[in-house]
Amino acid sequence: MLGQYFKRSNKIKNDQLMGPEEYLASKRILCLYGTMDEYIRRFDAFGPTLIMDLLLTLDQESNDPIKLIIDSPGGFMDVGFSLYDTIKSLKSPVWTYGRSCQSMATLILASGEKEHRHVYPNSRTMIHLPFAQISGNTEDVKVQQKEIEKLKEMMVDSLIDCGAVKNKKQILKDMDREYWMSANEACEYGIVDQVVKRGDI
């Protein structure tokens, strides 16, 4: 089924060798790189749109673990939550590996299968409050403010569901400004389980 997206042979086809993203996908390894954008839809092999499709496709092939490597500054929350929901809906466990994860990418990192959420030794993760530009008349501003509060609640509740050890009040306090964590600090926070060691992937 994965052949819909990638040619799964390591032989030369059409004068081209299979690319690294194709080879990794054939081994159930996917890479989420760059911004999770909502308005400029990314359909490259490393964007959230194709990652969601590939997760669903791999889940249909078998229920073996899928490894997701993440290097992203985050992006639009709607896109992030769509990916989060996709991961949580699969029968296959998703093992996550964070290189550099910020904002919504940190939640995607945390959403992986418990005991199989990894960060690289020199990686940094960051959480913060939702960012939005509010405009319009008074009533429009009120509606937008309510939506931002809902998104903030969703973010915190999801982090707690994923294993964050701090309570809601403390997480909100941490997110009031950019809250950066080293690999070990992310483990202590409960959003990952271990630091990547040789041979983990």
118 is catalytic: no
Q: Give catalytic status of residue 103 as yes or no.
A: yes
CA 18 to the chain's CA centroid: 25
**Of 162, 166, 20, 8, the residue nearest 96 (C-alpha):** 162
Strands (E), the chain: 29-33, 66-72, 94-102, 117-127, 179-181, 194-195
In terms of Cβ atoms closer than 10 Å to its own Cβ (0-12, 13-18, 19+), residue 131 is exposed
Enter the tokens of residue 20: 């690294």
Catalytic residue from among 26, 82, 116, 128? 128
Catalytic residue among 103, 111, 123, 158: 103
Known catalytic residues? Answer: 103, 128
